[in-house]
Amino acid sequence: MNEAPEGYEKNYQFTDSKPYFLGWEIDTFMIFAAGFGLALMVTKGFINFSIIVGSSILLAVFYDKMKNNHTKGYFWHLIYMLGFRKTNTLPPSYMRFFIGA
């Protein structure tokens, strides 16, 4: 259907798209890959392995939906808001409105 002609490479829809692997962006795929690797290292039975792999798939899908529903920089904002990381600089206190990108 959307195949590239012979001798051509299939291109991404947008020029600033992140690389994809198995239909997921790389950051989403890494969540699944970490769970899969953990399941390979830790489990011995098929049931435990499938539970960990299944939960890593669900976690990756949940992350992908959260990422697509929120604006760019939302997760960094959560990290700052929850206090896991401190900001390097703060805007002056008289600035009340910001124009975001």
Q: pLDDT: is 94 or 3 the higher one?
A: 94
- pLDDT tens for each residue of 16-57: 767 777 778 888 899 999 999 999 999 999 999 999 999 999
- Which of 5-9, 40-44, 60-64, 72-76 is least confident? 5-9
Residue whose C-alpha is closest to residue 71's, from 36, 100, 34, 49: 100
Q: Residue range 68-94: average pLDDT?
A: 78
Looking at the predicted structure, is the pLDDT value of residue 79 above 90?
Answer: no
Q: pLDDT: is 36 or 12 the higher one?
A: 36
Helix (H) or strand (E) holding 21, with range, is: strand 20-21
Helix (H) or strand (E) holding 24, with range, is: strand 24-25
From residue 72, alpha-carbon distances to 14, 26, 100 in Å are: 16, 16, 10
Q: pLDDT: is 66 or 40 the higher one?
A: 40
pTM: 0.61
